[in-house]
């Protein structure tokens, strides 16, 4: 095993999931979002964790992610929420993987197929301007669905554009458009079991009994804006070399760091190809023995240098924390470089070993 390891703490997963159930999921069905390798946490392991948690679906982005779960004998139902070609739709139907209709052309394609039951969720675009039917298309869609009994509309959903902002007028408008659409479909279609809109921030900020299902992702991984959550992933590495610098010595590509005094730096085997953002160069911190150590010079593809002048007893093999649930979180790092925690955890590459503990 290499020196750089992403530890996935089951204890924290349990805590976050219990908080979700206790505080936000009363009388709600759950679509647990495990796309993008469960935001870097390991889709198979997270799906295994969710096995006995009474979830309705695992939510993935595309057919390949669904097939990976199937290959690993996930018994949970799977919902593909994103891109799917017509060919892939046929494969999904054959494998009993449910998918999302997000464009009218898919309805036209499916309407021509005879004698197969098509279980699907429909997505309504209420303002994100991404995937989903518009309000103007739903009358025709409802008409086709009710005239062709192959269509089994299991769910209907939308996605919020700014659910992280409390009391957003835009989100309220999205909710209102969505409710109108649901009511319209319900007039002619009786198979709808799942009505959903909220991702994690929607769950926290826009609780509404009209939705009987929630779609948490980030919340489960402990990175949503809710104070009792515990980040699940900790990224650690080890010192592989220590060197002394004299005043005037430079570090790394482009010589963007010049030592102003005698100092000690440590080299760690983690770079932007592992998912440590290059924009942390000369800016971010890693932690050694609980102390902040500034990144000096540019983050390289495989290596990064940090200032350890004030760290006593540091040696080759000493542990270095990039982020965890104590020193700094993935959210802290994200804020420093004007991005979001999703970007940090999803960016931890395949090269980093995941250890589920
Ligand atoms: C359609 C959809 N639903 C739910 C989620 C989960 O979002 P979050 O991780 O913010 O809970 C996502 C994630 O991007 C999504 O695309």
The mean pLDDT value of the chain amounts to 97
Same domain, 177 and 141: yes
Question: Which range marks the domain in which residue 282 is found?
Answer: 233-356
Catalytic residue status for 253: yes
- Look at residue 240 and tell me if it is in a domain: yes
Q: What percent of the chain has pLDDT over 70?
A: 100
CATH number at residue 310: 2.40.37.10
Reported for 14-18, long-range contacts at CB under 8 A and 24+ positions apart, including other chains, are 15/222, 15/228, 15/229, 15/230, 16/219, 16/220, 16/221, 16/222, 16/229, 16/230, 16/232, 17/53, 17/220
- Ligand 1 centre to CA of 216 (Å) is 7
How does pLDDT run across 174-205, given as a tens digit for each residue? Answer: 999 999 999 999 999 999 999 999 999 999 99
In this predicted model, what pLDDT tens digit does every residue of 287-339 receive, in sequence order?
A: 999 999 999 999 999 999 999 999 999 999 999 999 999 999 999 999 999 99
Are 143 and 114 members of one domain?
Answer: yes
* Best CA proximity match to 241, nearest among 308, 324, 323, 312: 308
Q: Is residue 118 part of a domain?
A: yes
Q: Do 40 and 79 share a domain, yes or no?
A: yes
Judge whether residue 1 has pLDDT over 90. Answer: no
In this prediction, residues 218-247 reach a mean pLDDT of 97
Residue 12 has pLDDT above 80, yes or no: yes
Query: What pLDDT shows up at residue 24?
Result: 95
Report the separation in Å between the CA atom of 254 and the middle of ligand 1, taken as the mean of its atom positions. 39
Judge whether 225 lies within some domain: no
Evaluate whether residue 226 is within a structural domain: no
The protein residue with its alpha carbon nearest to ligand 1, atom 7, reads 199
The pLDDT, as a whole number, for residue 217 is: 98
Q: Is the pLDDT of residue 207 over 90?
A: no
Domain boundary among 158, 187, 214: 214
Which of 253, 262, 283, 326 does the annotation list as catalytic? 253
Please tell me whether residues 198 and 287 are part of one structural domain: no
Q: Is residue 134 part of a domain?
A: yes
Give the active site residue among 29, 35, 154, 230: 35
pLDDT at 244 over 80: yes
Residues 6+ apart with CB under 8 A from 263: 244, 245, 307, 309
Nearest CA to ligand 1 atom 4: 199
Residue 78 Cα to ligand 1 midpoint, Å, equals 15
Q: Answer yes or no: do 189 and 246 share one domain.
A: no
Helix segments in 169-314, DSSP class H: 169-188, 200-205
Tokens of 217: 């992702």
* Mutate-to-test residue for ligand 1 from 31, 128, 217, highest number of ligand atoms within 8 A of CB: 217
Split at pLDDT 50, 70, 90, the class of 155 is very high
* pLDDT attached to residue 56: 97
Structural contact between residues 297 and 335, judged by C-beta atoms closer than 8 angstroms: no
Over 90: is that where the pLDDT of 130 sits?
yes
- Ligand 1 environment, Cβ below 6 A: 33, 81, 159, 199-201, 215-219
Identify whether 187 is a catalytic site residue: no
41 — pLDDT class (breaks 50, 70, 90): very high
Residue percentage of the chain with pLDDT more than 90: 97
Q: Mean of the pLDDT values across residues 152-177?
A: 97
> What is residue 345's predicted lDDT score, i.e. its pLDDT?
98
At 115, the pLDDT band (50, 70, 90 cuts) reads confident
CATH number of the domain that 49 lies in?
Answer: 3.20.20.10
- The closest-lying atom of ligand 1 relative to the alpha carbon of residue 219 is 11
Residues 208 and 299 occupy one common structural domain: no
The pLDDT value given to residue 73 = 76
* DSSP class of 246: -
Structurally, the chain folds into a number of domains equal to 2
Q: Token pair for residue 191?
A: 């198979």
Instruction: Give me the DSSP letters along 104-117.
Output: HHHHHHHHT--S--
Token pair 């470089």 in the structure block, residue: 337
What local confidence, expressed as pLDDT, does residue 161 receive? 98
Q: Which atom of ligand 1 is nearest to the CA of 220?
A: 11
Task: State which ligand 1 atom lies nearest to the alpha carbon of 200.
Answer: 11
Instruction: Answer whether 144's CB lies under 8 Å from 111's CB.
Output: yes
């Amino acid at each position: 095993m290499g020196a750089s390891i992403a530890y996935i703490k089951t204890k924290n997963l349990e805590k976050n999931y219990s908080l979700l159930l206790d505080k936000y999921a009363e009388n709600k069905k759950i679509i647990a979002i495990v796309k993008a390798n469960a935001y870097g946490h390991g889709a198979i392991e997270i799906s295994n964790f969710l096995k006995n948690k009474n979830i309705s679906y695992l939510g993935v982005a595309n057919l390949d992610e669904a097939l990976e779960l199937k290959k690993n004998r996930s018994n949970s139902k799977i919902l593909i929420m994103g891109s799917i070609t017509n060919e892939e739709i046929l494969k999904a139907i054959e494998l009993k993987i449910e998918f999302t209709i997000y464009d009218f052309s898919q309805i036209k394609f499916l309407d021509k197929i005879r004698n197969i039951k098509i279980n699907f969720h429909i997505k309504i675009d209420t303002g994100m301007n991404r995937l989903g039917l518009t309000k103007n298309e739903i009358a025709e869609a409802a008409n086709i669905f009710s005239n062709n009994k192959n269509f089994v509309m299991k769910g209907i959903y939308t996605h919020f554009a700014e659910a992280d902002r409390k009391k957003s007028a835009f989100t309220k408008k999205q909710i209102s458009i969505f409710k109108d659409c649901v009511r319209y479909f319900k007039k002619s279609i009786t198979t709808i079991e799942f009505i959903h809109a909220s991702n994690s921030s929607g769950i926290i900020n826009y609780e509404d009994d009209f939705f009987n299902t929630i779609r948490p992702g980030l919340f489960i991984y402990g990175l949503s804006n809710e104070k009792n959550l515990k980040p699940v992933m900790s990224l650690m590495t080890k010192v592989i070399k220590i060197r002394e610098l004299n005043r005037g010595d430079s570090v790394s590509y482009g010589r963007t760091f010049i030592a102003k005094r005698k100092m000690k730096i440590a080299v760690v085997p983690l770079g932007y190809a592992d998912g440590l953002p290059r924009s942390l160069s000369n800016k971010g911190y890693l932690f050694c023995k609980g102390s902040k150590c500034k990144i000096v010079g540019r983050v390289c593809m495989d290596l990064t240098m940090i200032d350890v002048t004030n760290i006593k007893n540091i040696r080759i093999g000493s542990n270095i924390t990039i982020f965890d649930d104590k020193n700094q979180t993935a959210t802290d790092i994200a804020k420093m470089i004007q991005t979001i925690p999703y970007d940090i955890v999803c960016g931890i590459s395949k090269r980093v070993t995941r250890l589920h503990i």
